[in-house]
Amino acid sequence: MTRQKTFVTRLDFMCLLLVFWAFSAAAQTVMPLYPGKVPNAIAGPDEESSKDQVIRKVSKPTLTVFLPPAGTANGSAVIVCPGGGYGVLVMEWEGYRIARELNKSGIAAIILKYRLPDDKTMKDKSLGPLQDAQQAIKTVRERAKEWKIDPAKIGIMGFSAGGHLAATAGTHYDSTFIDNPEKTILRPDFMILVYPVISLLDKIGHKGSSSNLLGASPTAEKVRYFSNELQVKKTTPPAFLTHAGDDTVVPVLNSIKFYEALNANGVATDMHIYSKGEHGYPETPGLNEWFGRCLHWMSVNDFLPPN
């Protein structure tokens, strides 16, 4: 009798596990970012490669949609832009891991695998990532009803150079670089920027990100255009910023300058600076620490239901 009960228990467990796997597979959908031709693209071979969840040479952008379990969704959505200096995409640490955490809080997560700037695959490599971010916002807003998302609660989140892309989307939304026949609003409703590159100016900018995005000798005008602390206005979306003071890769001054510009324009912004954390937050502050503060900011600013 004991053996039979044990067998039934194991069988039940396996059935539950299969249901969980089936649900997980159904909850994640990978789709091309553009329904047709990719704008600003140069035809050529697909040289994308991946090792240890770090992707290189992205020329065909996609969205991976993580929807929260049925009955837990609260209507908020976040488009996630992994970092990597515009040279690679750190997909697990700054993508899939974050999407799972967002889903736990009832937030739809959409990971953007954006094109990495390359003169071989783009006519203007400085615009490729921004076009992809705008297309991602457009897609999520136009499919909001299908995905049970509130079209007024669609944010964009970025890490490191992905933070630069998210901030660029938030400060340049009134310049349209994609086809948008329905005049869909391209302004994200909020920004979440984690140890972000903000500026491309020599004194505080990240040289690798700047070189990859703009080339070795960009014009002063282009550098200023993509230095987002100089592009803030009163209609720039609210922002949550977090950074570490001991970050030797992307100086904390990036977040400080952006906060100052946002605050001067009356944009609701939280900034949390940790004395230790380095770049990438490899050990401290833990995910629960900074992400918990992020959720609190979202709730206070009505992007999440009150706790």
Residue 88 confidence (pLDDT) above 80? yes
- Please tell me whether the peptide bond between 35 and the residue prior to it is cis, using omega within 30 degrees of 0: no
Is the pLDDT at 10 greater than 60, yes or no?
A: no
Mean pLDDT of the chain: 92
| pLDDT at 307 > cutoff 90 | no
Q: Please give the single-letter amino acid code of residue 118.
A: D
Per-residue confidence (pLDDT) for residue 70, from 0 to 100: 86
Query: Up-side HSE of residue 161: CA atoms within 13 Å toward CB?
Result: 27
What φ, ψ does residue 120 adopt, rounded to 5°?
-80, -20
Q: Is the pLDDT confidence value at 12 over 80?
A: no
pLDDT at 247: 98
Report the range of poorest mean pLDDT among 24-28, 31-35, 99-103. Answer: 24-28
Q: What is the mean pLDDT of residues 229-257?
A: 98
**Which is nearest to 304 in space by CA: 189, 207, 222?**
189
CA angle at residue 28 from 289 to 34, to 5 degrees? 105
Task: Collapse the DSSP code of 101 into the 3-class scheme (helix H, G, I; strand E, B; otherwise coil) and give the result.
Answer: helix
Instruction: Indicate whether 102 pLDDT > 50.
Output: yes
Q: What is the pLDDT of residues 189-202, one digit of tens each?
A: 999 999 999 999 98
Q: Residue 11 pLDDT more than 60?
A: no
Q: Are 67 and 111 in contact (CB under 8 A)?
A: no
Range 9-38 average pLDDT: 64
Quick one: pLDDT at residue 27? Answer: 59
Say whether pLDDT at 3 is over 80: no
Domains of the chain, first to last: 32-300 (3.40.50.1820)
For 211-223, the pLDDT digits (tens) are: 999 999 999 999 9
pLDDT of residue 306: 80
CB atoms within 10 A of CB 215: 14
Averaged pLDDT, 62-73 = 95
Least Cα distance to 165 among 267, 82, 244, 78 occurs for 82
